[in-house]
Structures are given as structure tokens and as C-alpha cells.
């Protein structure tokens, strides 16, 4: 898939980089551990992504843990029934979940943040959301303008305390690491991507945790009847295309061959990763619109 587009890695040097601490609980072959499993709640071991950034999710959902000098930052949680596994992965790496001080998120759907209330209760961490995700997180219900709302009503989430609403382009400086939020409402009204810098043994990369580029919907929703939603989706794709993006992460690891890359079966970094990722989403959106027009 995207990880096979290019095999050449590249590195940016930084005088301030330090070697990452060893974490015996981290897997060297998360791909082999998952095997054929890719379910949202299928357990996987934790794995190092780069530097002090870790994969602590499941075989089918990415959850990211970042170490900073001011505590841990967790991005996404997976579904509610995977929350205990995420906490176990954090402990397996030698961390106390109570060290998590901030919770960030990509988009407001149960498969990616359904465990947020459980994680927040276990850690006491503060949750940061985009404006478009705030209502859904506070109520546990999808907003009506979400193309998947009619389907998501079957999968309510536990309401979660929202501590801060951050607009696109805003950032948080946490323990010397700056996390920048990029609003990109392609997949949902509250979709957001995050970027930050990671350094490992003198090599520094900008990690882009880019949200889903799939504009999908419930069966009875037609994008051609919602031109504002289409415009928002296209703007979101342009945002992802323009992200600073040395190392691409995606909410579903299969969207970027992430498990292969973490296991050394494909290049961890490759040129124009976010450009290719956004282009794939743009192509799927164009095909969806054409299909709807042809069906009339």
C-alpha cells in the first residue's frame, strides 16, 4: 500500500536529540503478533514508533503515546472494550497510566475514542478536542451533520469531560514538545490531525498523525445533496496534503501499512507520504460522487 510507494528513508538532524530509553515491553514484530487479526479490539503488543513515541493500540486501531518531561500524552483510545488493553500496553512499557496528563484525539467516532471516558477516569487527564468534536464528546452522540450519524446512533459513547477546545492551527506545548492540531473535516465534522517532532539518536522527524481521508456515510446519506459537506471534505484533504509529514501515522494502521513499517517490513518514512495519503482519499471521494450522480 502506501508504505510500498518508496523504500528510501530520510533523516533530519538535531543537535538536541537524545537516544531513546529502552523499553523491554515493546515488540519488534507487531505485524507478526497480530498476524491476520485486524479487528478494532484485537489485542496487539506495544511497539516503538520513533524516539519517545509509542504504539499502544490494537491490531486494527492506532493509539499513540508520547513521552514528555511534563508527563505522557495519549492520542485516541480505541473502542470502549479496548480501553483496558490500551492501559495494559502502557503498563507493559513501564509507565503508570496516571502519568498521562493530556488526551488528544483524531475524530469523534466510537471505534477511535469510545474508550475516552474510561481512560479519562483512570488517569484524570485533560481532554483537548477540535470545535467540531466537542458536542459529540460531551454527549456521546454523533451530531446530525455527521454523514455517519444514522449509523452511529447504534453505538453511543459514554459522555466525556472536555477540558479544552483548540481551533485548527492551534498548539499545545507540553514538556518541551509542541503538538499542533490541524482541523481537517473530511471523515467527520470534528476530524483533526496532529503533528509533533520526535528525535532519536540525532535523527529528528516530524510525526504526522493524519486523520482518516475516507468520506463515508450511512446508507441513506448522499454527498451530492450536501455540497457544504463536500467542500469541507475537500478542504480537509488539502490540509492533510500540506501537513509537515516525515513519518505518517493513520487511525487505522492498515491505512498506511503502519504495522509493516513498525516491524521493519517496509520503510518507516518515505517521501510525500501525506501527499499520497490525501490523494488516495481524494480519488475515493471523486468516485463516490460520480457513483451518486450515475445512480440518479
Cell of 46: 506495544
pLDDT digits (tens, 9 = 90+) for 223-268: 999 999 999 999 999 999 999 999 999 999 999 999 999 999 999 9
Q: State residue 7's pLDDT score.
A: 35
Closest listed residue to residue 126, CA positions, set 73, 66, 87: 73
pTM given for the model: 0.92
Return the half-sphere exposure (C-beta side, CA atoms, 13 A cut-off) of residue 66: 25
pLDDT digits (tens, 9 = 90+) for 204-230: 999 999 999 999 999 999 999 999 999
Q: What is the DSSP string of 1-22?
A: -GGGS------EE-TT--PPPP
User: Is pLDDT at 13 greater than 60 in this prediction?
Assistant: no
Cell 487505522, residue located: 252
In this structure, the strands spanning 100-104 and 126-129 are parallel
Residue pair 172/102 in contact by the 8 Å Cβ criterion: yes
pLDDT band of residue 23 (cuts 50, 70, 90) is confident
CA distance 11 to 8: 10
Domain range annotation of the chain:
2-295
pLDDT digits (tens, 9 = 90+) for 101-155: 999 999 999 999 999 999 999 999 999 999 999 999 999 999 999 999 999 999 9
Closest listed residue to residue 208, CA positions, set 278, 260, 286, 264: 278
Cell of 143: 451530531
Architecture, CATH, for domain 2-295: 4-Layer Sandwich (3.60)
Residue 44: phi and psi, rounded to 5, are -130, 160
Residue pair 139/105 in contact by the 8 Å Cβ criterion: no
Q: In Å, what is the CA distance from 126 to each residue of 99, 101, 184? A: 12, 6, 22
User: Is pLDDT at 172 greater than 50 in this prediction?
Assistant: yes
CA distance 75 to 255: 17
Which spans in the chain are helix H?
Answer: 30-34, 83-92, 110-113, 116-123, 131-139, 149-152, 227-241, 258-262, 273-295
**Sign of the alpha-carbon dihedral angle for 223, 131, 209, 237:** positive
Burial degree of 226 (CB within 10 A; 0-12, 13-18, 19+): middle
Give residues with Cβ within 8 angstroms of 111, minimum separation 6: 40, 61, 78, 79
CA distance 105 to 119: 12
CA distance 278 to 148: 20
CA distance 31 to 45: 10
Amino acid at each position: 500500500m502506501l508504505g510500498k510507494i518508496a523504500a528510501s528513508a530520510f533523516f533530519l538532524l538535531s543537535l538536541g536529540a537524545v537516544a531513546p530509553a529502552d523499553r523491554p515491553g515493546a515488540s519488534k514484530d507487531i505485524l507478526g503478533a497480530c498476524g491476520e487479526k485486524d479487528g478494532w479490539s484485537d489485542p496487539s503488543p506495544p511497539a516503538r514508533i520513533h524516539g519517545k513515541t509509542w504504539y499502544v493500540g490494537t491490531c486494527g486501531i492506532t493509539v499513540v503515546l508520547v513521552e514528555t518531561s511534563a508527563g505522557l500524552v495519549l492520542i485516541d483510545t480505541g473502542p470502549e472494550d479496548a480501553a483496558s488493553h490500551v492501559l495494559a500496553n502502557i503498563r507493559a512499557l513501564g509507565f503508570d497510566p496516571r502519568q498521562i496528563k493530556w488526551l488528544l484525539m483524531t475524530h469523534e467516532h466510537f471505534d477511535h475514542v469510545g474508550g475516552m471516558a474510561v481512560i479519562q477516569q483512570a488517569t484524570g487527564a485533560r481532554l483537548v478536542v477540535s470545535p467540531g468534536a466537542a458536542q459529540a464528546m460531551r454527549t456521546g452522540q454523533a451530531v446530525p451533520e455527521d454523514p455517519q450519524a444514522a449509523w452511529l446512533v447504534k453505538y453511543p459513547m459514554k459522555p466525556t469531560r472536555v477540558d479544552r477546545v483548540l481551533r485548527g492551527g492551534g498548539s499545545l506545548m507540553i514538556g518541551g514538545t509542541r503538538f499542533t492540531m490541524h482541523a481537517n473535516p473530511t471523515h467527520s465534522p470534528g476530524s483533526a490531525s496532529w503533528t509533533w517532532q520526535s528525535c532519536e539518536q540525532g535523527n529528528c522527524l516530524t510525526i504526522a498523525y493524519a486523520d482518516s481521508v475516507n468520506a463515508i456515510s450511512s446508507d441513506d446519506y448522499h454527498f451530492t445533496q450536501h455540497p457544504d459537506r463536500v467542500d469541507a471534505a475537500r478542504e480537509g484533504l488539502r490540509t492533510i496534503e500540506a501537513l509537515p509529514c516525515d513519518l505518517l501515522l493513520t487511525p487505522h494502521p492498515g491505512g498506511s501499512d503502519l504495522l509493516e513499517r513498525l516491524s521493519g517490513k517496509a520503510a518507516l518514512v518515505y517521501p510525500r507520504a501525506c501527499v499520497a495519503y490525501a490523494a488516495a482519499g481524494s480519488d475515493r471521494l471523486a468516485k463516490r460522487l460520480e457513483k451518486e450522480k450515475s445512480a440518479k
